[in-house]
């Protein structure tokens, strides 16, 4: 592909990403993969260059652009070499007209930028949300230890006890240690969220929103494969991915429960008041994961945020029913908005006055309300809010 053709390809991909953001369609990663699947002529260098152009434009534009061309023109404003590729030649974008629309820059849509600022995320802290994320792994203690595991690259030790960091794009899934289940890809902040549960061998632990089971596997390792671990989710397809991952990691069979949305307790009635710990890694806006999914900020609306916070509040109340007297509830969101963090916990404690917040010391994070907040600028992790709550005796 010529440099001009790469720019035009990025524009076409951006058009699809913008349309998907407005309609709730597939992710940018999926769109890019599908685009190249039907264009076998593109080599690895072409794919990398087009992907970098598309994601560069996504990260640079705050509001949803009117078009992919408008997004790319925003990048071209400060890049004369890029602007010169709009020359109208074969497979190239048309020349730039003096009055055509150019997308605006920024961190996010204005309403969301304001919500972040009100939650203490502005300036450099907000800009860090759109940087490129590194690749973190967790050493699986059922099969290895961080200080003894030999890998093709050494990795940087993280605050998480078994965490290692590598450069973005490191092919860890091709390493034998990954194939053997000795390491799992997991952000360092996510690992610390699991550490907050303090799961121990022999306990009964519930992962109430397990998804595909990344945190479930970390809990299983902390429990040394001993005790009762229950992984729950409302998405059958995501939950089904846990079994093969657990087998690779050497985790004993895990009790999985498919939950009905709004009727979660129906499938958990036998566990009421019996769990030593419940992890509520609640559905959220994902504002803390923009480094990996920058187009997600174009998908979020005030209405969707209100829907998510209502779900979080309800799941906290569900979890409270499951925790035994004196047990613990750990609430986690990958969000930097107080509405999905400090405010949620304050609301829970107002509804459940006998419960208490327990201070956390995870070796990272900044106190926020009754919990800790991790953010990309201060902690070099994805953004998370983490709180631990103790049930009354």
Select which of 194, 209, 284, 334 is catalytic. 334
| pLDDT value, residue 317 | 97
Q: How does residue 302 score in pLDDT terms, banded at 50, 70 and 90?
A: very high
| Angle at which helices 188-197 and 214-222 cross, to 10° | 50
Q: Do the domain assignments include residue 314? A: yes
Any known ligand binding at 317?
Answer: no
| Nearby residues of 60 by Cβ (< 8 Å), 6 or more positions away | 71, 74, 75, 103, 105
| pLDDT value, residue 114 | 97
Please check whether residues 172 and 192 belong to one and the same domain: no
The domain boundary residue, chosen from 106, 125, 156: 106
> Does 329 score more than 90 pLDDT?
yes
Please check whether residues 172 and 266 belong to one and the same domain: no
Please check whether residues 215 and 357 belong to one and the same domain: yes
Please check whether residues 204 and 162 belong to one and the same domain: no
Please check whether residues 66 and 84 belong to one and the same domain: yes
| Rounded average pLDDT over 245-271 | 94
Q: Do the domain assignments include residue 124? A: no
Q: Do the domain assignments include residue 303? A: yes
Please check whether residues 241 and 339 belong to one and the same domain: yes
Please check whether residues 250 and 296 belong to one and the same domain: yes
pLDDT in tens, 105-127: 999 999 999 999 999 999 999 99
Q: Do the domain assignments include residue 116? A: no
Token pair, residue 104, equals 């605006």
How many distinct structural domains can be found in the chain?
3
Predicted TM-score (pTM) of this structure: 0.93
Please check whether residues 195 and 143 belong to one and the same domain: no
Any known ligand binding at 281?
Answer: yes
Domain that holds residue 317: 188-390
Q: Do the domain assignments include residue 233? A: yes
Q: Do the domain assignments include residue 127? A: no
> Does 79 score more than 90 pLDDT?
yes
Please check whether residues 181 and 252 belong to one and the same domain: no
Token pair, residue 183, equals 């390491």
Q: Do the domain assignments include residue 126? A: no
Alpha carbon of 200 to those of 47, 144, 273: distances in Å? 45, 18, 18
Catalytic residue flag (residue 334) = yes
pLDDT in tens, 19-64: 999 999 999 999 999 998 888 787 888 989 999 999 999 999 999 9
Alpha carbon of 274 to those of 269, 349, 391: distances in Å? 10, 21, 12
The secondary structure of 184-235 as a DSSP string is: EE--HHHHHHHHHH---TT-EEEETT-TTSHHHHHHHHHTTT-SEEEEEES-
Please check whether residues 193 and 163 belong to one and the same domain: no
Token pair, residue 214, equals 């990344």
The domain boundary residue, chosen from 65, 86, 106: 106
d(CA 388, CA 273): 17
User: In CATH, what number is assigned to the domain containing residue 155?
Assistant: 3.30.70.1170
Cβ atoms within 10 Å, residue 84: 12
Q: How does residue 82 score in pLDDT terms, banded at 50, 70 and 90?
A: very high
Please check whether residues 72 and 172 belong to one and the same domain: no
Please check whether residues 63 and 207 belong to one and the same domain: no
User: In CATH, what number is assigned to the domain containing residue 292?
Assistant: 3.40.50.150
| pLDDT value, residue 38 | 85
Share the mean pLDDT of the chain: 95
Q: Do the domain assignments include residue 194? A: yes
């Amino acid at each position: 592909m010529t440099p001009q053709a790469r720019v035009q390809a990025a524009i076409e991909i951006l058009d699809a990403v913008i349309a998907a953001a407005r309609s709730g369609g597939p992710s940018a990663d999926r769109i890019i993969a599908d685009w190249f699947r039907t264009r076998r002529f593109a080599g690895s260098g072409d794919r990398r260059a087009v992907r970098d152009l598309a994601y560069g434009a996504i990260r640079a534009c705050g509001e949803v652009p009117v078009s992919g061309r408008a997004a790319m023109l925003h990048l071209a404003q400060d890049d004369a070499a890029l602007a010169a590729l709009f020359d109208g030649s074969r497979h190239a974008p048309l020349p730039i007209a003096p009055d055509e629309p150019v997308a605006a820059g920024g961190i996010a849509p204005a309403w969301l930028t304001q919500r972040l600022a009100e939650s203490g995320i502005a300036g450099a802290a907000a800009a860090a949300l759109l940087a490129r994320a590194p690749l973190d792994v967790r050493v699986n203690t059922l099969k290895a230890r961080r200080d003894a595991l030999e890998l093709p690259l050494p990795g940087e030790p993280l605050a998480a006890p078994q965490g290692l960091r590598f450069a973005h794009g490191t092919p860890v899934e091709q390493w034998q240690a990954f194939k053997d289940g000795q390491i799992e890809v997991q952000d360092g902040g996510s690992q610390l969220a699991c550490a907050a549960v303090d799961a121990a061998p022999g306990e009964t632990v519930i992962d109430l929103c397990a998804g595909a089971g990344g945190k479930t596997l970390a809990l299983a390792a902390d429990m040394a494969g001993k005790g009762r671990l229950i992984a729950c989710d409302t998405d059958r397809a995501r939950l089904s991915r846990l079994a093969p991952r657990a087998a690779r990691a050497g985790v004993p069979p895990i009790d999985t429960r498919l939950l009905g949305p709004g009727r979660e307790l129906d499938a958990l009635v036998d566990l009421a008041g019996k769990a030593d710990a419940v992890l509520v890694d609640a559905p959220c806006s994902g504002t803390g994961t923009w480094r990996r999914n920058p187009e997600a900020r174009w998908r979020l609306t005030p209405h969707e945020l209100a829907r998510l916070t209502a779900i979080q509040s309800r799941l906290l109340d569900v979890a409270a029913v499951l925790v035994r007297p004196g047990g613990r509830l750990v609430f986690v969101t990958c969000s930097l908005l107080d509405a999905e963090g400090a405010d949620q916990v304050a609301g829970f404690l107002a509804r459940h006055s006998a419960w208490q917040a327990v201070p956390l010391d995870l070796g990272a994070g900044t106190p926020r309300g009754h919990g800790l907040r991790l953010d990309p600028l201060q902690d070099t992790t994805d953004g998370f809010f983490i709180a631990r709550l103790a049930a009354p005796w």
